[in-house]
Structure 1
Amino acid sequence: MSNAEGIKEHMEVVGADGVHVGTVDRVEGERIKLTKKDSGEGSHKGHHHYIPLALVAEVEGDRVRLAANGDVAVSFEEEETAKPI
């Protein structure tokens, strides 16, 4: 089973420790795009962040559980890269 199977819009993303990491906007390629509302503070606020699908341990009910604890998973978040003009 692919890590993307079963991941749907608005599912909660939690770390292995159950800590909220974000909310799924959609899957794009090999990453989960998180909603802007979970984008953090300061310069991180107001734009999308991404979690690599490789961190997904399982999809259970309406949650995506990651293989890393929440504080560690956040350190793997990626920001959207600029699109070429």
Structure 2
Amino acid sequence: MSIVFLLMIGAAAGFIATRIMGVDTGLFTTIAIGVLGALLGGLVLRFLLMLTGLAAGLVGAVLGAIVLIGLWHLGTRR
């Protein structure tokens, strides 16, 4: 996966995940959440569900980003 493609999917996934979770973040944080979520979610979905393709990557990226936002909220509430 190229860096540009990863950033585009990450930006989209981060945007969708922050809107679903109701989090207000900056552009860099949104992209970072999306890219890390794409890596985490993509790996989990490929191993567990054996899905491939763009749709699986986007779904995995959004789910991974949602998990990261949840963990981020747990870490910052203290």
TMscore range, shorter length: 0.3 to 0.5
Q: Which has the higher relative contact order, 1 or 2, with Cα contacts under 8 A spaced 6 or more apart?
A: 2
TM-score (norm 1): 0.31
Q: Which has the higher strand share?
A: 1
Q: Which has the higher helix share?
A: 2
TM-score (norm 2): 0.33
